[in-house]
Amino acid sequence: MAHITFNTKNIENFVAEHELDEMQPLITMADQQLRHRSGAGAEYSDWLTLPTDYDKEEFARIQTAAQKIQSDSKVLVVIGIGGSYLGAKMAVDFLNPMFNNELADDQRKGVKIYFAGNSTSASYINDLVRVIGDQDFSVNVISKSGTTTEPSIAFRVFKQLLEKKYGTDEAKQRIYATTDANRGALHDEAKISGYETFTIPDGVGGRFSVLTAVGLLPIAASGADIEALMTGARDAQEEYSDADLKKNEAYKYAAVRRILYDKGYTTELLINWEPTMQYLSEWWKQLMGESEGKNQKGIYPSSANFSTDLHSLGQYIQEGRRDLFETVVKLDNPVSNIDLPHENGNNDGLQYLEGVTIDEVNTKASQGVTLAHVDGGVPNLAVHLPAQDEYSLGYLIYFFEIAVGASGYTFGINPFNQPGVEAYKTAMFALLGKPGYEDQTKVYRARLNQ
């Protein structure tokens, strides 16, 4: 039995059992393209066996580097964007208390983790520099090429801070580069400067890279158990190895999503009921959006954080256009709980809840919202996690990865490339006057002046 459970009881009015049966041949075809590496983009599908086929020597070096960071630093600045940032941020948030960076040193498992290089905001960088202040810190810069604009800018700033604080030689011992194994600007700089380096595997695209050094070093530095994380993913790899929809819930999720899409439900909201899962949704949105959004096809991935967003988006979800469905990631056992305090009188109207835990309120709220949304015409799927821990997260990561890999092939597209991402870069580089973009510079500047 799978460690996590996928619940489809709230789509019975939207998807008939025979429709799932009719999806089996398409899912079987997608599974064969994945397993036999015969589908488009197969050269980037090494994530499929990553939980069992990863570099054990590098894994041990990651653990050693994390221990060094914890011994000589209070802060790790993780520099990256997109897949070089979202997976690590998601996991660090998921596996640690909500206000982890504000806790005293003896109450945290590892160092404070801050992220940079994920925007072009000068204010963000300046604010982070002020937060670090006089604290000892290290930097993990993550980039396949070493020339991506946002992380390259941030790396210049924080490298200079390291050199000013520690001197050139010690600064080099506090920089950890996660990059291409053989080429690229960051690879070359790391080799010349002597930074400790970790590899972004050629066969694993950025949005699938959280279980490589890209995610594992920051996660380990935060104090999380990356061995348990990989064990969860390994067990999920085994669990989701059968193409039979009656045996593979990850494929069932992919099949149900496709059926709903064909019926006009073209937007999926990933719902969480825990603030520490907000970045799970951000990671998931990149995973789904970059994998499926091609050739004018694909489900649009969005998200909502409940109960917070029920007071802003709730009206639209309940009674707006009927082109969306929800997938709820629900934690069955909270990390911690609290009893609602007793109080004399009933001014706030909460006396009926006295003796009830706040997590019970959260759970009943989620159940009530589901019933209301289903009654309002919103199909509702649910993924239940038994615990918010490393093993469960590794399992969940693989669940979503294998699901979107199969789903992409059912759309007849390459789930592992992202050609559309280059369009904005061309326009941005042209407007900035980057060498090699002179012709485009004239065109784009003229358009701005129209």
- The answer to whether the CB of 116 falls within 8 A of the CB of 77 is yes
Q: What is the DSSP string of 407-421?
A: HHHHTTS-TT--TTH
> Cα–Cα distance between 279 and 99 in angstroms, integer?
14
The answer as to whether 195 is a domain residue is: yes
The proportion of the chain whose per-residue pLDDT surpasses 90, expressed as a percent, equals: 90
**Same domain for 146 and 246?**
no
**Same domain for 235 and 377?**
yes
3-state secondary structure of 116: strand
Give the mean pLDDT of the chain. 95
3-state secondary structure of 333: coil
- The answer to whether the CB of 355 falls within 8 A of the CB of 408 is no
The answer as to whether 103 is a domain residue is: yes
pLDDT tens, residue by residue, 372-393: 999 999 999 999 999 999 999 9
Domain boundary among 189, 224, 259: 224
Backbone φ, ψ for residue 413 (5° rounding): -125, 175
Q: What is the pLDDT of residue 34?
A: 97
**Same domain for 194 and 245?**
no
Tell me the two tokens of residue 112. 């404070």
The answer as to whether 43 is a domain residue is: no
> Cα–Cα distance between 167 and 190 in angstroms, integer?
17
Confidence of residue 449 (pLDDT cuts 50, 70, 90): confident
Q: What is the pLDDT of residue 437?
A: 79
Q: How many domains does the chain have?
A: 3
Tell me the two tokens of residue 443. 């065109």
- Report the Cα 386 to chain-centroid distance in Å: 19
Q: What mean pLDDT is predicted for residues 227-255?
A: 98
Q: What is the pLDDT of residue 428?
A: 75
What is the spatial order of strands in the sheet that 267-272 belongs to? 5-7, 380-385, 324-331, 267-272, 300-305
3-state secondary structure of 436: coil
Tell me the two tokens of residue 115. 């992220």
238 in the Ramachandran plot: left (φ > 0), alpha (ψ -120 to 50) or beta?
A: alpha
**Same domain for 218 and 336?**
no
Tell me the two tokens of residue 390. 């490393």
Q: Which residue among 164, 247, 425, 442 is the active-site one?
A: 425
pLDDT tens, residue by residue, 177-198: 999 999 999 999 999 999 999 9
Q: What is the pLDDT of residue 1?
A: 74
Tell me the two tokens of residue 348. 């706030």
Angle between helices 149-166 and 122-132 (to 10 degrees): 30
Tell me the two tokens of residue 276. 């520490």
**Same domain for 29 and 115?**
no
The answer as to whether 330 is a domain residue is: yes
Q: Which residue among 150, 196, 239, 290 is the active-site one?
A: 290
Check if 290 is active-site. yes
pLDDT tens, residue by residue, 123-157: 999 999 999 999 999 999 999 999 999 999 999 99
> Cα–Cα distance between 415 and 387 in angstroms, integer?
30
**Same domain for 90 and 131?**
yes
Q: What is the pLDDT of residue 418?
A: 84
**Same domain for 155 and 292?**
no
pLDDT tens, residue by residue, 396-420: 999 999 999 999 999 999 999 988 6
Q: What is the pLDDT of residue 422?
A: 66
**Same domain for 124 and 160?**
yes
**Same domain for 338 and 247?**
yes
Question: Which residues, other chains included, contact 365 with Cβ-Cβ below 8 Å and sequence gap of 6+?
Answer: 273, 306, 307
Tell me the two tokens of residue 254. 């992919």
**Same domain for 34 and 62?**
no
First to last CA, the chain: 62
Whether 421 shows a pLDDT value over 90: the answer reads: no
What is the domain extent for residue 34?
5-38+230-411
Domain boundary among 180, 209, 224: 224
- The answer to whether the CB of 430 falls within 8 A of the CB of 441 is yes
HSE of 204 in the Cβ direction (CA atoms, 13 Å)? 26
The answer as to whether 342 is a domain residue is: yes
**Same domain for 85 and 133?**
yes
The answer as to whether 346 is a domain residue is: yes
Angle between helices 213-221 and 86-95 (to 10 degrees): 30
195 in the Ramachandran plot: left (φ > 0), alpha (ψ -120 to 50) or beta?
A: beta
Question: Which residues, other chains included, contact 411 with Cβ-Cβ below 8 Å and sequence gap of 6+?
Answer: 258, 292, 294, 295, 297, 298
Q: What mean pLDDT is predicted for residues 263-285?
A: 98
Whether 118 shows a pLDDT value over 70: the answer reads: yes
Q: What is the pLDDT of residue 286?
A: 97
Tell me the two tokens of residue 74. 């209070």
Q: Angle 106-110-115 (CA atoms, 0-180°, nearest 5)? A: 125
3-state secondary structure of 31: helix
pLDDT tens, residue by residue, 154-163: 999 999 999 9
